[in-house]
Amino acid sequence: MANQQPLPGIREWDTAQGWRVVELHYKADPEKNVKGWKESTKRALGLSDADWDREFEIDWTAGLGDCYFDKDSLRTHYLPRAGGAHYRGVMIPGKGKGDIPEFVTQAGGAVTVWRLPERITGGVGRKRYLGRYIIGADPAEGLEKGDAAAAYVLDRVRFEIVAAVHGRLVPDAFAMILDRLGRWYSEPDLGPHEVALLGVEANNHGNTVLNVLSRTLRYPKLYAQTQQGGGARRLGWFTSSRTKPLVIDGLAKVVAEKELVIHDKALLGEMMTYISKDGKLGAAGSSHDDRVMAAAIAVQLHKMRYTPQVHVPKENGMFAKMRQAGQGGDSWVAV
């Protein structure tokens, strides 16, 4: 069953584990869904903002710290628009040597796609600039009870997250998926190196992922940072006490201003539980922030580069047929 909001104050969705969740908000009661009820009730009960959020807004992280993202934007703009047509699947090699990798649908696959690759046309000096797509990636060790690896593909023209990778993937497997995904979101007409810019967090297991991508898979467009003092460039995005606020602030800003298109409810859920406490940023309690970091890296790399123009072609291909069969949505554009 698709994600839906059957009545005001009631939301339903399916989890990745197959559970059906029904959220019942106080606004489902018509007597409480009226102007002024919240303010008068809050005063009568003597509740603080955190107490109100925890008891009435179904926000169990209230009081654990200050949510770093604008909750009003998340609740009123992003969550009602999230979900939509998407497909789960896996990336496989191209049919021939040197061919572009392919996406095939598969239940439970680690890759989620909301919009297929589109190609850039026109623009003076377009080969001198970064292409249309950026991938931000947050690797993990891949243990069953550990953190998950996460990555997002950012369409820089639409400013939309168009695909995601998430799962407890060991570094080698994560690197293979990123390699194929980046070559799929490519511009082959501009040459074999015009693939998505891939920004991998280099901390911890990120070094293993970067080694596989650069030395084994020979991925041609990996983000590298120039060290202070003009030293040699180092592959990957290094998260530190200095750079972490930088990337999180960048993501928080575009969310507050409702600029970024986000389909992934799981990412929005992590934003709701991402807090600032005692000067530190991170997930509240036992929550996770791998998706937040992946999205933040992609947005940060976008801010550092030039955005080209694009021509959106007419719809055709596999996903067009799926949509026409009632399996997709109006947002699909295939090439």
Q: What is the tens place of the pLDDT at every residue in 163-199? A: 999 999 999 999 999 999 999 998 766 666 689 999 9
Residue 205, Ramachandran bin (φ over 0: left; ψ between -120 and 50: alpha; else beta) = alpha
CB 142 within 8 A of CB 212: no
pLDDT tens readout for residues 229-245: 666 678 999 988 888 99
Bigger pLDDT: 106 vs 141: 106
| Lowest mean per-residue pLDDT among 105-114, 146-155, 189-198, 246-255 | 189-198
Q: Give the residue-averaged pLDDT of 18-27.
A: 75
For residue 253, report the phi and psi dihedrals to the nearest 5 degrees: -65, -45
Instruction: Take residue 263 and report the two structure tokens written for it.
Output: 């389909």
Bigger pLDDT: 32 vs 51: 32
Please report, as a single letter, which amino acid is at residue 260.
Answer: L
Instruction: Take residue 179 and report the two structure tokens written for it.
Output: 């390699």
Residue 159, Ramachandran bin (φ over 0: left; ψ between -120 and 50: alpha; else beta) = left
CA distance 152 to 181: 10
| Lowest mean per-residue pLDDT among 114-118, 218-222, 307-311 | 307-311
Q: What is the pLDDT of residue 333?
A: 26
Domain boundaries, the chain: 4-58, 87-324
CA distance 219 to 197: 10
- Percent over 70 (pLDDT), the chain: 73
Write the CA distances from 288 to 16, 150, 183, 271, integer angstroms: 15, 11, 28, 9
- Which strands make up the sheet holding 4-7, listed edge to edge? 4-7, 10-14, 20-24
Q: Give the residue-averaged pLDDT of 240-267.
A: 93
Q: How confident is the model at residue 51 (pLDDT cuts 50, 70, 90)?
A: low
Q: What is the pLDDT of residue 302?
A: 92
Specify the fold of 87-324.
Nucleotidyltransferase; domain 5 (3.30.420)
CB 132 within 8 A of CB 187: yes
Q: Give the residue-averaged pLDDT of 258-265.
A: 95
Q: Return the number of other C-beta atoms located less than 10 Å from residue 104's C-beta.
A: 12
| Residue found under tokens 């949509």 | 323
CA distance 298 to 315: 27
Bigger pLDDT: 52 vs 326: 52
C-alpha 32: how far from chain center: 35
Is the confidence at residue 212, as pLDDT, over 70? Answer: yes
Q: What is the pLDDT of residue 334?
A: 25
Helix (H) or strand (E) holding 132: none
Is the confidence at residue 67, as pLDDT, over 80? Answer: yes
Tell me if the pTM is above 0.75.
no
Is the confidence at residue 128, as pLDDT, over 50? Answer: no
Is the confidence at residue 136, as pLDDT, over 80? Answer: yes
Is the confidence at residue 286, as pLDDT, over 70? Answer: yes
Q: Give the residue-averaged pLDDT of 297-313.
A: 66
Q: Give the residue-averaged pLDDT of 43-51.
A: 67
Which residue from 317, 309, 311 is spatially nearest to 334, judged by alpha carbons?
317
